[in-house]
Amino acid sequence: MFFVRVNMNDRTYQVTETPPEYRHLAGRGLTSTLVANEVPPLCHPLGPNNKLVFAAGFLSGTSAPTSARISVGAKSPLTGGIKEANAGTSWAADLAAMNIQALIIEGQPKEKGAYWGITITWEGKPKVEFFESTQYTGKVLPDVYPAMYEKYGDKISVCGVGMAAEHGYGNSGVVFNDMHKRPTRYAGRGGMGAVMASKGLKFIVLNRMGAPGMPIVDKALFEEGRKKMIDALRTHAITKPKGALNTYGTAVLINIMNEAGGLPTRNFSSGRFEGAPRIAGEAIFETNKKRKGEEIYNHACSPGCIIQCSNTIFDEKGDEITSCLEYESDWSLGADCGIDNLDDVAQLNALCNAYGLDTIETGTTIAVAMEAGVIPFGDSKGAINLVHEMGKGTPIGRILGAGAATTGRVYGVTRVPVVKGQAMPAYEPRAVKGIGITYATTTMGADHTAGYTIAPEILGVMGKQDPLSPEGKAALSRAFQATTAFIDSSGHCLFIAFAILDIASGYQGMIDEVNGVLGTSWTADDILKQGAEILKAERRFNEAAGIGKEADRMPEFMKTEPLPPHNNVFDVPDAALDSVFAEL
């Protein structure tokens, strides 16, 4: 396996064998360890000393199901701390097929406003070539992505950044192609797009033609694990074909969270939204059925996924508005803004994808602006206009592009739902205490995927726990955070967790798959330990960047304002928050 280092100072590159100390790292484990080891914690995130690291998971590029995740890591311009964001895309499988364990983008060109792309092809080893890309800037992504396919053929995978990144926004993602060549699969959170753009890099095009594919040391063991994983995914109610995710998508959670009183509404001022049924996964399924004249089940974002949770939203004529509308996006651009018009929510989502914005940060930021009186809650046309302003980079657009924390600061708003500068996702911490602990303590800034305790607290995965109780939740969040750090390294989508946490053979399947690829003999204990090591490396970086345990706290309003309908505050003691890392 190779490390490919691209130097944007002078547009050169270097291919080396993977150094021994990184051999057994992949995905988030590899991006975070490299960032922690090589990036000065106090560097400017958009300056020449930050590094942008891409690493696919252990299993990416293999036939393991639902395993084409790519991790993107750097120091975040949104949080000032370490960041890993990941996406599902053929790009991950192609990077792995070319045996590139880490792609590391370094330096920064002296020319301001000039952009390049790179292609990586296989000529006995990875080969990097540069091409001018300034002509593709200042345009929405759907207008420039096709040019890459025209230029480099149909067999490629494409990574890029949009106008949000070109503006240097803390809210700007790195985008990857989906199965239909669309720029829709985002490593969305924490401003990884702006880091890439700050390096004068607009596109990374992969062509795996001739590449050897991912080596597998113990094929029999891998195959055994793969079968266990497939069985688990095909059996579990959430992940099975025509199951919850395949039918309703992640937006199946809208009604569930609303029922639980934990759907953050109108800038986190209530846990229940009266318009929830109109934007819920069930409404998407029924609307599509009506508009297309048949039941539409969801599709895969990347090759080899058997969960297939990506929906499409069709307009009244049956044309696609967006693909896909995730629960988080549906919530942030919908309920959190008081918007219940599904077509408008879908259009907002499409605009975020077109400009290269993170949907979670965008919706929560608009909601903070609504609280400030910029536009009223529920004003979907006003919200659409604001997203266009973000794309254009006008002053109001730039305020919003800097994210919810900055928007709150600029408008003097005191109810700003952020931790470490990153906006909270779609689960109210006052109604679901465990996820609040994850938001508060994860190295990432508020992030549900870092330790998704919603599984037991709401969905009853691994047995049901009372979401309103803080009891035992620090330990729960810690276990989920460590396990997740490993899953984020495996290449598997986090959604396998629903199945493998309930079905023990599925969990063993993941371990077998990874041991098969690497020739290791890791146990479940080893996996938890590795997850913990990843978290500790991230934590060390953050502490050196000035982000210590005082940053592991909820915003003040969540500790003082009771949330309807349960009228709970966030009552997890600081000592419990501190125990998450202290006892790791």
Is the preceding peptide bond at 565 cis, omega within 30 degrees of 0? yes
Q: Does 29 bind a second copy (CB under 8 A)?
A: no
Q: Does 539 bind a second copy (CB under 8 A)?
A: no
> What DSSP designation does 314 have?
E
Site residues for a second copy, 77-96, by CB under 8 A, read 77
Q: Does 46 bind a second copy (CB under 8 A)?
A: yes
Give the pair of three-digit tokens for residue 324.
């896909």
Q: Residue 431 Cβ, how far from a second copy at the closest point, in Å?
A: 21
Q: Does 114 bind a second copy (CB under 8 A)?
A: no
Q: Does 217 bind a second copy (CB under 8 A)?
A: no
Q: Name the nearest CA neighbour of 156 among 104, 201, 209.
A: 209
Q: Residue 360 Cβ, how far from a second copy at the closest point, in Å?
A: 19
Q: Does 43 bind a second copy (CB under 8 A)?
A: yes
Q: Does 394 bind a second copy (CB under 8 A)?
A: yes
Q: Does 170 bind a second copy (CB under 8 A)?
A: yes
Q: Does 169 bind a second copy (CB under 8 A)?
A: yes
Q: Does 269 bind a second copy (CB under 8 A)?
A: no
Single-letter code of the amino acid located at 544: A
Report long-range pairs for 123-132 (Cβ below 8 Å, ≥24 apart): 123/210, 125/2, 125/15, 126/2, 126/4, 126/15, 126/98, 126/99, 126/100, 128/4, 128/6, 128/13, 128/15, 130/11
Q: Does 548 bind a second copy (CB under 8 A)?
A: yes
Q: State the pairing for strand pair 12-17/82-88.
A: unpaired
Per-residue exposure over 264-301, b if at least 16 CB sit within 10 Å of its own CB, e if not = bbbbbbbbbbebbebbbbebbbebbeebeeeebbbbbb
38-46, 125-133, 245-253, 289-297 -> range binding a second copy (CB under 8 A): 38-46
Q: Does 556 bind a second copy (CB under 8 A)?
A: yes
Applying CB under 8 A, among 181, 266, 398, 566 the residue interacting with a second copy is 398
- Number of residues counted as binding a second copy (CB under 8 A): 41
Q: Does 392 bind a second copy (CB under 8 A)?
A: no
Q: Name the nearest CA neighbour of 351 among 386, 377, 327, 326.
A: 386
Q: Residue 488 Cβ, how far from a second copy at the closest point, in Å?
A: 26
Q: Name the nearest CA neighbour of 449 among 177, 86, 78.
A: 86
Q: Does 209 bind a second copy (CB under 8 A)?
A: no
Applying CB under 8 A, among 44, 110, 219, 381 the residue interacting with a second copy is 44
Applying CB under 8 A, among 412, 525, 575, 583 the residue interacting with a second copy is 412
The single residue listed with the structure tokens 């090591």 is 533
Q: Residue 415 Cβ, how far from a second copy at the closest point, in Å?
A: 9
What are phi and psi for residue 125, nearest 5 degrees? -155, 175
Q: Does 377 bind a second copy (CB under 8 A)?
A: no
Applying CB under 8 A, among 14, 17, 37, 40 the residue interacting with a second copy is 40
Nearer to a second copy, 41 or 57 (CB): 41
Whether residue 57 contacts residue 492, with contact meaning beta carbons closer than 8 Å, is answered with yes
DSSP for 325-343 reads --HHHHHHHTGGGT---HH
What are phi and psi for residue 69, nearest 5 degrees? -95, 140
Nearer to a second copy, 401 or 467 (CB): 401
**Backbone CA torsion sign across 554, 556, 559, 563:** negative
Nearer to a second copy, 112 or 317 (CB): 112
Q: Does 547 bind a second copy (CB under 8 A)?
A: yes
Nearer to a second copy, 41 or 65 (CB): 41
**Backbone CA torsion sign across 507, 71, 458, 64:** negative
Q: Residue 171 Cβ, how far from a second copy at the closest point, in Å?
A: 11
Binding interface with a second copy (CB under 8 A): 40-44, 46-47, 49, 77, 167-170, 194, 198, 394-396, 398-399, 401-402, 406, 409-412, 414, 543-548, 550-551, 553, 555-557, 560
